[in-house]
Amino acid sequence: MTSRTAVLAHAARLARHAPSILNTQPWQWHIGRHTAELRPDTTRSLPNLDPGHHLMLLSCGAALHHATVAIQAQGRQVTVERGTDPLARLTLGPPDTPRHTDLAAAITHRRTDRRAFGSQTPGDEIIADLRKAVAAQGLHLRPVRPDELPLLAAATSRAASDAAHRPGLRAEVATWTDRPTEYGDGIPTATTATATQRRVPMRDFAPGSGGGFSVSAAASDIGARYVVLHSDDPDDWLRAGAALSALLLTATVRGVACSPMSELVEAPWPRSILTTLIGTTGHPYLVVRLGYPVDDGPPPAAPRRPETETTHYGFTDASPHPSPAPILDV
């Protein structure tokens, strides 16, 4: 394995830790001597929860950002070309001063934390850092004000009602919950939320729940803050995934726990409520819950697929280039 290939292989290896919808890890890397191509793994799609493959693309965008951070932290320049087939191509450039080493170090420590948060609230300085990280990916971050939490809870309740009436959705969520360890994917029991009531309901991944929602209560999860990722472009789910990755890694560096809430964008009605909440002509992509857990220590890591399933070598670098897109800072 050449040194260039080793850089790309390391990046793909770290990208396996990216967040993904129901921890499906729906991506494939094809590694050549100078480039790495990112393609979706459509065999891991969710036809009931994500029929348009939007959240699959968002997941792939998070993996793309993870890989880019890993390359830059190794002291290499990298060009990112985004397209549709492949979704993206990373091309190594010359050596450079290592960048974003703190974000790269956070990749294996980041967790989706569904536990109840205590009374301490992430401050405005942290929100400003997260907003800057998201803006570098071309998206916007809108904090939800305390007086807007009832509207956010209403959107989540609407999502719960929609999910209960969508044929096959609850069974699909259950299929990806508490899977055998050797699968290396899905939502394990140890990372699910407890039955603690929340001001804003959350999807319950506990075995037997079928992906139902917790009941909201005004006095619980009191220190949680909520932010909405949004953009002027309604269809740039890949870039939204990169913005999510930037937010989560930055939050991890700052010691803030996070849990993305995709259920609010999985159906038109809840998403329309979010559009009303952000109060702009923008399009919401995801809600992220931020805070500091009551429990000490991080939650367990979610399982990861073997590298042999997600990364393929011997790519010839001969396929057509993706459609070019603006190169943004990570």
The set of residues, in sequence order, having a beta carbon less than 8 Å from that of 288 and lying 6+ positions away, is 226, 227, 229, 244, 247, 248, 258, 259, 260, 261
pTM for this predicted structure: 0.92
Asked whether residue 211 carries a pLDDT value surpassing 80, the answer given is: no
| Distances in whole angstroms, Cα of residue 273 to Cα of each of 67, 80, 202, 245 | 33, 34, 17, 24
- The confidence score (pLDDT) of residue 208 equals 54
Query: Predicted confidence band at 322 (pLDDT cuts at 50, 70, 90)?
Result: low
Asked whether residue 169 carries a pLDDT value surpassing 50, the answer given is: yes
- 8 Å CB contact between 31 and 67: no
Residue 168 CA to residue 57 CA, distance in Å, equals: 21
Taking only the tens place, the pLDDT of each residue in 90-128 is 999 999 999 999 999 999 999 999 888 888 999 999 999
- The confidence score (pLDDT) of residue 269 equals 85
- The confidence score (pLDDT) of residue 326 equals 41
Is omega for the bond preceding 86 within 30 degrees of 0, making it cis? yes
Asked whether residue 270 carries a pLDDT value surpassing 90, the answer given is: no
Asked whether residue 39 carries a pLDDT value surpassing 60, the answer given is: yes
- Where b means 16+ CB within 10 Å and e means fewer, 272-282 reads ebbbebbeeeb
Asked whether residue 149 carries a pLDDT value surpassing 90, the answer given is: yes
Taking only the tens place, the pLDDT of each residue in 129-146 is 999 999 999 999 999 999
Residue with token string 């939320």? 193
Highest average pLDDT, of 3-7, 101-105, 222-226, comes from 101-105
- The confidence score (pLDDT) of residue 312 equals 94
- 8 Å CB contact between 12 and 92: no
Asked whether residue 86 carries a pLDDT value surpassing 90, the answer given is: yes
Query: Predicted confidence band at 190 (pLDDT cuts at 50, 70, 90)?
Result: confident
**Least confident stretch, 10-24, 51-65, 91-105, 152-166:** 152-166
Asked whether residue 75 carries a pLDDT value surpassing 70, the answer given is: yes
- The confidence score (pLDDT) of residue 324 equals 44
Alpha helices in the chain (DSSP H): 3-15, 54-73, 101-106, 124-135, 149-164, 169-175, 237-253, 268-278, 307-310
Name the token pair of 287: 């809600």
Residue 248 CA to residue 62 CA, distance in Å, equals: 10
Asked whether residue 44 carries a pLDDT value surpassing 90, the answer given is: yes
Taking only the tens place, the pLDDT of each residue in 154-164 is 888 888 888 88
- The confidence score (pLDDT) of residue 128 equals 98
